[in-house]
Amino acid sequence: MEKVRDLYEFAEELREKVDIVEYISQYVKLKKRGKNYMGLCPFHPDKNPSFSVSREKGLFHCFGCGVGGNIYHFIMKIEGVDFVKAVEILAKWAGVEIPKYKVSKEKGEIFNLHEIFTSYFEKLLHENKEAMNYLKKRGLKEEVISKFRLGYAPEDISFFLKEKKIKPEIFKKTGLYPFSHFRGRLIFPIFDTVGRVIGFSGRTLKDEEPKYINSGESVFKKREALYGIFQAKDSILKNREVVLVEGYMDVIMLHQNGIENSVSSMGTSFTIDQGRILKRFADRIYICFDPDTGGIAGTKRALDIAETLNFDVRIVKIPENLDPDEYVLKNGKESFFELLKDAPDVVTFLWSEAEKLHKNDESAVPLVKDLIEIAKRIRDEAKRFEVIRKIAERTKFPEDIILNEIKRGKKKKKRDESILEQKDLLEREFLSAIVKNERFFSIIKDEIDENYFFTERYRNLYRKITSNLTKDVLEEDSIYREMILEDNEISEEVFFDIFRRFKLRYLMRVKEKIIKEIDEIDKEDEERFNYLKLKLFEIEKDIKSFLHKKEV
């Protein structure tokens, strides 16, 4: 416990030394606006910059989705790591040596074991002719074999476990259990974004089925893993562009040929979780699946997910019916770059797919229907109208019929806005004013209490503000962060004006409540009736004196 506390202190010191704007700029393009920096949020599908970073306060906050915190929260969120790992990452980035500390977490132990096995398998690969020959035959060079740390799993692991004193019950928790799945196979370690081995994939060298076997779901979350993300991350961040392929070999071969921003979804089912991880690092995605039927169906699903996440989506069609690895091996880097350059956007791609599908139809209706579905996906109104015009031109259907068809679909989709929580503007305004003006607040502090807040969230925040919490605890509250990052400063005059309106509104509300109760009360209950009358009298007096004070 003592040691971890040391780490915490170290982390606080480190936080003072680094520039949060510089750090976050590696991931997000930030522009100065007022005192803060703004950019597109990497954590939600953001259209207008709602992601704010304050150098002065050392905080970030998204006004769209509410995430935020200090630089460690950012690293934890963007890299999907825990606090300890986030400190390590920041220390490394800042070139600061990290003091020794103890991690007893089981997860850390599993990562360590995975690392030990990965090194062991790497060594075995180079001693195994059959496996090396296979890789050479596929065209892999030593450079990428070591970059991706490919390995070979022995027939028997028990000697190694004994030698390293790894207990069977611990081994069971690793991604190599049951080992029978991996023995005698080529091993592809799977890394997370910061380079820890989270799982393994074993490929047969003997044409056994299945060709690839992955670690079990207990340690390894396949839907959140992207093969090659660690090796590709820096290159992706350069232009915030990523090439998404199906296979392990595709990734490795593309990297070997200089397309280092490629990752694999490990099969054709690209998941929303994988998409979210990529969205932290990229804004444009090139979907580049194999040209077989599975690949085309997978492409359509993947582009739906990518569009939901607001990626700029391009679909790469590989000619000659080749897989990406075969294509780049045969035609080289430059011609692959040409494919990327010419890759159509979603509308163009889906349009040509629809044309292909309906090319032998007698009626134009099925084609029109499919094209209308494409137009419906377009959020930008001008672009949508342009496509509608093209549909009319292509199919000879009148534009207004197409337009009506689209509108009909839209109506159903409209969300019920009334469900959205109604925010109390005045309460927020007042809270924001006291957060920014502690001096003015101290003057009126005793005149109000938490009951003045009718909105629970604001009442909670007020309670926090008035209970002497430290700044970093307060900063955990997203509304608080939002407020201190707002740029507007408030003069004394404005502050007291907000306060008067806030207090008056409270008094009026209380008065209303009392009147309502008097109306509804059983008149026989004289005691209660008199009590309420007295209350009403008091509150009216308060209001009067308060209004009077305003005039002074």
How many degrees, rounded to 5, is the angle at CA 224 between CA 218 and CA 227?
105
Query: Tokens representing 384?
Result: 């949508």
41 belongs to the binding site for Zn ion (CB under 5 A): yes
Min CB(480)–Zn ion separation in Å: 17
Say which residues have a Cβ less than 8 Å from residue 500's Cβ, sequence separation at least 6.
546, 550
Identify which range of 1-9, 55-63, 133-141, 411-419 contacts Zn ion by CB under 5 A. Answer: 55-63
Assign 548 to helix, strand or coil: helix
Per-residue tokens: 308: 């939901």
Q: What are phi and psi of 299, to 5 degrees?
A: -60, -45
CB of 369 to Zn ion, least distance (A): 36
Nearer to Zn ion by C-beta: 42 or 175? 42
Rounded least distance, CB 66 to Zn ion, Å: 7
Please state, in angstroms and rounded to a whole number, the distance separating the CA atoms of residues 548 and 530: 27
Number of residues interacting with Zn ion: please give it, by CB under 5 A.
Answer: 6
> Which of 62, 431 has the CB closer to Zn ion?
62
For the CB of residue 502, give the shortest distance to Zn ion in the complex, in Å.
Answer: 29
Contact between 286 and 241 under an 8 Å Cβ cutoff? The reply is yes
Minimum CB distance to Zn ion, residue 68 (Å): 9
382/420 with CB nearer Zn ion: 420
Nearer to Zn ion, 3 or 29 (CB): 29
Question: Judged by CB, which is closer to Zn ion: 39, or 189?
Answer: 39
| Closest listed residue to residue 42, CA positions, set 313, 312, 285, 279 | 279
Residue 285 sits at φ, ψ, to 5 deg, of -125, 130
Identify which of residues 66 and 319 has a Cβ nearer to Zn ion in the complex: 66
CB-based contact 256:143 (threshold 8 Å): yes
| Min separation Cβ 83 and Zn ion, Å | 21
Residue 367 found at the interface with Zn ion (CB under 5 A): no
CB of 41 to Zn ion, least distance (A): 3
Specify the residue, 283 or 326, whose C-beta has the smaller distance to Zn ion: 283
Is the CB of residue 14 less than 8 Å from the CB of residue 94? Answer: yes
Q: Is 44 a binder of Zn ion (CB under 5 A)?
A: yes
Closest to Zn ion by CB, 44 or 505: 44
Rounded Cα distance between 68 and 483, Å, is 12
Q: Alpha-carbon distance 202 to 210, whole Å? A: 10
Nearer residue to Zn ion within complex by CB, 150 or 309? 309
Q: Is 78 in the site for Zn ion (CB under 5 A)?
A: no
DSSP E strands in 156-261: the ranges are 186-191, 197-203, 212-214, 241-245
The residue from 35, 57, 64, 477 that contacts Zn ion (CB under 5 A) is: 64
Q: How far apart are CA 49 and CA 396, in angstroms?
A: 41
Instruction: State in angstroms the smallest separation of the CB of 424 from Zn ion.
Output: 23
Phi–psi pair at 323, nearest 5 degrees: -80, 160
Q: Decide if residue 43 touches Zn ion (CB under 5 A).
A: yes
In the complex, least distance from residue 151 CB atom to Zn ion, rounded to whole angstroms: 39
Residue corresponding to tokens 């020959």: 133
Applying CB under 5 A, which of residues 24, 59, 62, 249 lies at the interface with Zn ion?
A: 62
Per CB under 5 A, the segment of 36-44, 237-245, 517-525, 542-550 that binds Zn ion is 36-44
Handedness of CA 230, 236, 240, 245 (dihedral sign): negative
Site string for Zn ion, 176-215 (x = CB under 5 A): ----------------------------------------
Identified binder of Zn ion from the candidate list 10, 35, 57, 65, rule CB under 5 A:
65
Looking at the Cβ atoms of 171 and 311, the one nearer to Zn ion is 311
Pairing of strands 186-191, 31-33: unpaired
**Interacting span for Zn ion (CB under 5 A) from 37-45, 69-77, 273-281, 402-410:** 37-45
Spell 373-406 as b/e; 16+ CB within 10 A means b.
ebbbebeeeeebeebbeebbeeeebeeeebbebb
Q: Based on CB atoms, which residue is closest to Zn ion, 44 or 147?
A: 44
Instruction: State the nearest-atom distance from the C-beta of 552 to Zn ion, in Å.
Output: 46
Residue 111 lies near Zn ion (rule: CB under 5 A)? no
- For binding to Zn ion (CB under 5 A), which residues are involved? 41, 43-44, 62, 64-65
